[in-house]
Structure 1
Amino acid sequence: MAILLDKDTTIVAQGVTGWAGTHHVASMMEYGSRVVGGVRPGKGGRSHLNLPIFDTVAQAREATKANASIVFVPPATAAAAMIEAIEAETPLVVAVTERVPVLDMIRVKDALKGSRTRLVGANSQGVLAPGVCKLGVMATGSERPGGVGVVSRSASLTSEVVAQVTAAGLGQSTTVGVGGDAVHGMSMRDCVELFLADPDTDGLVLIGEIGGHEEQEVADYLTEVKPNKPVVALVVGSHAPRERRMGHAGALAFGAQDDATAKIKALERAGVRVAPSAHLVGRTIAEALAQAR
């Protein structure tokens, strides 16, 4: 069992006719994901990648009964695309677009209030349920079905950790990239709640970085619920200078409260085992699961 995705997930791709949409949707379909249509205003009635194209998400949902959307729309209009999917009551929306303007994302967050939609991203590599569904742009090949849930703010580190978890003889229930922008949809805590409720997830790996307070929010939640599943974390950016953005738009520490050291201390106080280095995450979660058993 995975979170967010299952064998019945059907997908429409917004912005499918552009280069990025074409490339990554073809990869998703090759993986076995059930992509059933695309959305491109002004091109309704045509086809692309042998998929029917619609002018709006509402039209695509009505015709295909899709229950998920992925957004490949450029930053200037990505928020409008997300809001369109929310207003069409799409249950799951993944936005891979990076550096959507912050004020635009605040409008998106407002549209999410009271809606039926879960939004992953923006600036997300997506969601992957190994062997079930790929809804995103992540590399595949090293993933395997298993019991480790991965929640991450970093796409490249997710690929590294997935490879390590597989090499340790484990596997992944689902990997979720919450997004590297400062304002995004589902938080790390939201994902942790879903993983802790998932009977087929035996343990969790959190991949955090400087900036924001999501890791501290997870720590507060874990302190409150005291889960019986082991949680391992990697927090990168210990040597990053303050007030300097480190790759992601949201990877920006202004003070001691949002640097790596503060996040690591908060997670350790909550009982999380923090991997001492990026190359030891797989070994650390394997040891934690062995001790839990």
Structure 2
Amino acid sequence: MSILINESTRLIVQGITGRDGSFHTQKMKEYGTNIVGGTSPGKGGSRILDIPVFDTVYQAVEQTQANTSIIFVPARFAADAIMEAADAGIGLIICISEGMPTLDAIKAHRFVQQKGAMLIGPNCPGLMSPGKSLVGILPAQIFKKGNIGVISRSGTLTYEVVYQLTVNGMGQSSAVGMGGDPVVGLYFRELLEMLQNDPETDAIVMIGEIGGNAEELAAEYIKNHVTKPVVGFIAGQAAPAGKQMGHAGAIIAGSSGTAADKIAALEAAGVRVAKEPADIPGMLKAKLGV
């Protein structure tokens, strides 16, 4: 078992004929992900990489019984793509698109919730269940099947932490890059609950960063509901107040959102917080007694 995706995932790619969509479709297909179709308005009836292309998500779902969608479209079209997927009955939507306006993200996220679907992103690298399915742009070669769950606001830090785990002999059960925008779909609290309930996950790594209060809320949830060992890392510890660091959501406003506050909250909840990503495997091994 893993969270969100596995061998039974039936994936469609929105924007499959574009440069990024076709490139990453090939990578996902090579990994073994079950890609049942793609969409590109005006190109319905064609094929790419031997995958059928449809004009709309509605047609794709009707013909393929897809349950998951990944979105590679320009930011100005991303909200409509998300809402089309949710309206067509897709249960899990992953939006890779970067630069989506915040008000668009709010509208799309609310629509997804109303439809009872789940959203990851926007501006995210997607997710991976090693040995089962890859839905996103994560580099498959660094992953190893195992029992460590990884959730992260940062794509590149996800890769760094997964690499450190793998080279230290610690495989992953699931890895989710949730995105670094101010408004995204599934976040720490929901993903922590899923990993806590996943029998194949024995420990959790959560990678946060400055800005917002998601890590503080996660710390409260961990304190009250998570019994598995958790190790954390907070990026942006040297960031000055008022300075955006990389992600649109990584900005300290006033007295909230600092790395120090997040680290203090996590440590108070019993989470060991690493100073460097390379420290994480050793901390996990100490927690697990291996």
Q: Match of 2:234? A: 235
Q: Match of 1:148? A: 148
Q: Match of 2:4? A: 4
Q: CA RMSD in A?
A: 1.1
| Identical-residue share of aligned pairs (%) | 43
Q: Match of 2:134? A: 134
Matched, 1:267 2:266: yes
- Which ranges of structure 2 fall in alignment gaps of 5 or more residues? none
Superimposed CA distance per residue, residues 196-222 of structure 1 (whole angstroms, 9 cap, x where no aligned partner): 011110000000001111101111111
Equivalent position amino acid for 1:278 in 2: P
* Contact 1:44–1:54 (Cα < 8 Å) also in 2: yes
* TM-score normalised according to structure 1 size: 0.97
* Contact 2:109–2:119 (Cα < 8 Å) also in 1: no
Cα deviation, residue 51, structure 1: 1.1
Q: Match of 1:159? A: 159
* TM-score normalised according to structure 2 size: 0.97
Equivalent position amino acid for 1:254 in 2: A
Q: Match of 1:278? A: 277
Count the aligned residue pairs: 290
Superimposed CA distance per residue, residues 242-267 of structure 1 (whole angstroms, 9 cap, x where no aligned partner): 21211111111113320111100011
Structure 1: distance between partners of 2:45 and 2:109: 31
Q: Match of 2:45? A: 45
Cα deviation, residue 284, structure 1: 1.4
Structure 1: distance between partners of 2:289 and 2:114: 41
Structure 2: distance between partners of 1:274 and 1:36: 41
* Contact 1:90–1:116 (Cα < 8 Å) also in 2: no
Q: Match of 1:251? A: 250
Structure 2: distance between partners of 1:247 and 1:202: 31
Cα deviation, residue 117, structure 1: 1.1
3-state SS, counterpart of residue 184 of structure 2: coil
Structure 2: distance between partners of 1:118 and 1:100: 18
Q: Match of 1:113? A: 113
1:27-42 equivalences under 5 Å are 27-42=27-42
Structure 2: distance between partners of 1:200 and 1:28: 23
Cα deviation, residue 109, structure 1: 1.6
Q: Match of 1:95? A: 95
3-state SS, counterpart of residue 21 of structure 1: helix
- Which ranges of structure 1 fall in alignment gaps of 5 or more residues? none
Superimposed CA distance per residue, residues 215-238 of structure 1 (whole angstroms, 9 cap, x where no aligned partner): 01111111222x321000000111
* Contact 1:168–1:286 (Cα < 8 Å) also in 2: no
Matched, 1:212 2:212: yes
Equivalent position amino acid for 1:271 in 2: G
Structure 1: distance between partners of 2:116 and 2:29: 26
Structure 2: distance between partners of 1:114 and 1:290: 43
Structure 1: distance between partners of 2:281 and 2:57: 40
Matched, 1:184 2:184: yes
* Contact 1:89–1:116 (Cα < 8 Å) also in 2: no
- For structure 1, which segment, 187-196 or 110-119, has the greater mean C-alpha deviation from structure 2 after superposition? 110-119
Matched, 1:17 2:17: yes
